[in-house]
């Protein structure tokens, strides 16, 4: 490979990395991850209340129907999750088939529901959905919102009553040092660095903060796309017929 080909490939890779904010699939992935938190919380509450109530009442007649209802509803929610993954993530999650059918007696249908592996995989998937939602929520709040705030700095830094910068209650003191033992002597260097408050007061500084916000925003979107790819793989593993990993292009174009 020639130097020109290598440079062209590097430029294309760099351009592709910076183009992530302009891809529609990026925002579909973002919507999926944003929805993961409220959905995961709802699933977790539903399973916690339903299973605990059903198990607690198993000594009575009503406990077993409650558990069967929780399992049946979980398989239905798994179908909804497959559709959401297909629409937003762009991956096909083939259904392994539902154990809840009208064939056979009530006892036979209940037995199929309880003994079907897909039922329990759906329960595990719904119960762990909250972890994906929490991770996505943390990334969106700590990184993406911070990046958007940094992009707005050039428009607000000089407004009256607005302080943009770093504020500390007291200056931080750092003591970087390096020591080397030489014969019977200890030779080294030590210095003290004071880190105090800093305020954006010029347009150049504001533009620099905005530039850092662009890089942080791009990195955040790549991280969120990675979480979406992981979520798609996990959905196919738990709710599909196989564990084939979705193509990267399908989730990032």
Q: What is the pLDDT of residues 7-42, one digit of tens each?
A: 455 456 556 777 888 899 999 999 999 999 999 999
pLDDT exceeds 70 at position 96: yes
% of the chain with per-residue pLDDT over 90 = 40
The per-residue pLDDT for range 194-225, each reduced to its tens digit, is 666 777 888 898 999 999 999 999 999 999 99
Q: What is the pTM of this model?
A: 0.75
Q: Is residue 65 part of a domain?
A: yes
Q: Is residue 241 part of a domain?
A: yes
Q: Is residue 180 part of a domain?
A: no
Q: Is residue 172 part of a domain?
A: no
- Average pLDDT (103-125) is 83
Q: Which residues contact 26 (CB under 8 A, 6 or more apart)?
A: 20, 221, 224, 225, 252
The predicted structure's pLDDT at residue 113: 82
Q: Is residue 184 part of a domain?
A: no
Distance CA(253)–CA(251), nearest Å, equals: 6
The predicted structure's pLDDT at residue 159: 84
pLDDT exceeds 50 at position 147: yes
The per-residue pLDDT for range 41-76, each reduced to its tens digit, is 999 999 999 999 988 888 888 888 999 999 999 999
Q: Is residue 56 part of a domain?
A: yes
Structural domain range at position 131:
3-160+201-252
pLDDT exceeds 60 at position 90: yes
pLDDT exceeds 90 at position 3: no
Residue 248 pLDDT class (50, 70, 90 cuts): very low
The predicted structure's pLDDT at residue 117: 86
Structurally, the chain folds into a number of domains equal to 1
The per-residue pLDDT for range 176-188, each reduced to its tens digit, is 777 777 667 767 7
Residue 226 pLDDT class (50, 70, 90 cuts): very high
Contact criterion met (CB below 8 Å) for 199 and 165: yes
DSSP state of 170: S
Q: Is residue 243 part of a domain?
A: yes
Residues in the chain: 253
Q: Is residue 176 part of a domain?
A: no
The predicted structure's pLDDT at residue 139: 87
Distance CA(208)–CA(96), nearest Å, equals: 52
């Amino acid at each position: 490979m020639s130097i020109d080909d290598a440079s062209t490939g590097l430029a294309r890779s760099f351009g592709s990395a910076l183009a992530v904010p302009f891809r529609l699939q990026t925002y579909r992935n973002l919507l999926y991850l944003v929805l993961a938190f409220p959905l995961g919380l709802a699933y977790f509450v539903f399973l916690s209340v339903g299973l605990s109530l059903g198990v607690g009442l198993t000594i009575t007649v009503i406990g077993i129907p409650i558990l069967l209802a929780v399992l049946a509803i979980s398989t239905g929610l798994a179908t909804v999750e497959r559709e959401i993954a297909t629409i937003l993530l762009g991956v096909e999650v083939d259904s392994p088939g539902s154990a809840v059918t009208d064939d056979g007696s009530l006892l036979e249908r209940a037995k199929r529901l309880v003994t079907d592996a897909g039922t329990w995989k759906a329960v595990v998937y719904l119960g762990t959905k909250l972890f994906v939602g929490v991770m996505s929520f943390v990334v969106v709040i700590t990184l993406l919102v911070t990046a958007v705030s940094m992009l707005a700095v050039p428009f607000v830094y000089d407004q009256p009553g607005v302080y943009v910068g770093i504020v500390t209650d007291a200056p931080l003191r750092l003591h970087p040092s390096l020591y080397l033992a030489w014969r019977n002597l200890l030779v080294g260097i030590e210095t003290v660095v004071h880190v105090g408050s800093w305020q954006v007061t010029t347009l150049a500084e504001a533009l620099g903060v905005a530039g850092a916000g662009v890089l942080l925003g791009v990195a955040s979107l790549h991280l969120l796309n990675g979480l979406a790819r992981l979520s798609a793989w996990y959905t196919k593993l738990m709710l599909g017929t196989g564990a084939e990993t979705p193509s990267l292009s399908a989730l990032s174009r």
